[in-house]
Amino acid sequence: MQFDAEGKPVRLRGVTVDVTERYQAEFELRESNRKKDEFLAMLAHELRNPLAPISTAAEMLRLTAPSDARTRKASEVISRQVKHMTALVDDLLDVSRVTRGLVDLEKEPVDIKAAVASAVEQARPLIEVRHHHLTIRTDASPATVLGDRTRLVQVIANLLNNAAKYTPQNGEITLAVAVLEKGDGGAGARVEISVADNGIGIEPKLLPQIFELFTQAERTPDRAQGGLGIGLALVKTLVALHGGSVGAASDGPGSGSTFTITLPAIDAARLGTTASSIDPQAANAVPTRIMIVDDNVDAAESLAELLGAQGHRVEVHAHPREAIARAREAPPEVFILDIGLPEMDGYELARRLRADPATGGALFIALTGYGQAHDRILSKSSGFEHHFVKPMDTDRLAQVLAGVRGRSRP
């Protein structure tokens, strides 16, 4: 700006930059990300729908013909592959949530040794089919952290599965848990979890990028199952959300690798609480009146058969209005409702059943192919107490049904 002799502004010089193209590019990028997330959510839903009856049918095969070796083997193969497909779908959705910062942790004191036991059970099928020898080493000290148990199990299982995939058959895998006391620098106590293998190792040039999205080692003919190259990126992000760190070490190709997680430790006893752990044996089935509402006939009937074999009394309906009328005549103790129903979605159906005195005291379980954070919030606001993502986790369902004992019966 220029001024005259009296100090009055007489001339202004400026530069105008047209940012229309940049704004349009940023808008298109945001829109592309939104459409990608919507596509991933719909893809997951469509994949989970057929996986649900397949998983339940495999469980029924195992229960109805336990003495037939061929049937038992077929059931194990189907269940193992369904879990693998489910894990791939979950990873797709998780990476979308993680990159947008939408992962919420439900933190509580967690016994890492119990979490390790659960992770080993998840990874055991792949470890066994590859004929690996797994060694677990833990010290005597309590290993407790403040974190999300489900996510921590996911992280440990991911590292175990990764070791199994990249280790030739009959390999050695060692999982170790140690508690590191406070250091001289004032650092607090830490829990260290390491997974070491004698597999194909990691090339030096790949090591710095091993935790980045879509980074993968070279595929070999010996690898039993592939991946999407996002598992280790999820591990790094989830560990960071717990205030911890993760590192990888390898002396190069053919020398195996070691992944180490370090998490801040807490004193659960001093907090006056106990670390969470889930004992599947504690979930004893209690005969319960259950109504399943799902327009996917195969999924509904296979789940009903499984629950019936466990001693529950189950009826199935495909239409919401039919379910409402029947529920008034014979109120069930538990409703398992699909969300994508004809004429009336599962949210509205749950709200109507909640409002009816005859059925309002029942336990409401959402069973759906949608499992993102906003889907769970919406189901909770509609009156659901539990949100299950297809295919149904039958062990967790058994635990939920065991808790029906002591509720006020309608």
- Please spell the DSSP secondary structure of 183-248, one letter per residue: -TT-PPPEEEEEEEE-SS---TTTGGGTTSTT--PPP-TT-SS---S-HHHHHHHHHHHTT-EEEE
Nearest CA to 328 among 358, 357, 303? 358
Fold of 280-402: Rossmann fold (3.40.50)
CA gap 292, 17 in Å, rounded: 61
Per the CB < 8 A criterion, the answer to whether 188 and 149 are in contact is no
Please state whether the predicted TM-score (pTM) of the whole model is above 0.85.
Answer: no
Nearest CA to 105 among 317, 263, 292? 263
Per-residue pLDDT, 41? 67
Per-residue pLDDT, 32? 78
CATH of domain 108-264: 3.30.565.10
For the chain, what are the domain ranges? 20-99, 108-264, 280-402
Candidate CATH numbers 1.10.287, 3.40.30, 3.30.2310, 1.25.40; the one for domain 20-99? 1.10.287
CA gap 43, 372 in Å, rounded: 12
CA gap 42, 227 in Å, rounded: 21
CA gap 393, 206 in Å, rounded: 36
Two structure tokens written together for 281: 């044996």
Per the CB < 8 A criterion, the answer to whether 288 and 331 are in contact is no
Q: How far is CA 253 from CA 52, 198, 259, 381, in A?
A: 40, 10, 15, 52
Per the CB < 8 A criterion, the answer to whether 300 and 373 are in contact is no
pLDDT digit string (tens) for the chain, length 410 residues: 777 888 888 887 778 888 888 888 888 888 877 777 677 667 766 777 788 788 888 877 777 777 777 887 788 778 777 876 777 677 666 666 665 656 667 788 999 998 898 888 888 888 988 899 999 998 878 889 999 888 898 899 989 988 998 899 999 999 999 988 765 444 578 999 999 999 999 888 888 888 876 555 554 444 444 555 677 888 888 898 889 999 999 998 888 999 999 999 987 655 555 454 444 433 445 688 999 999 888 788 888 888 888 888 999 999 999 999 999 999 999 999 998 888 899 999 999 999 999 999 999 999 887 777 677 888 899 999 999 888 777 778 888 888 775 454 44
Per-residue pLDDT, 222? 47
Per-residue pLDDT, 359? 92
Per-residue pLDDT, 362? 92
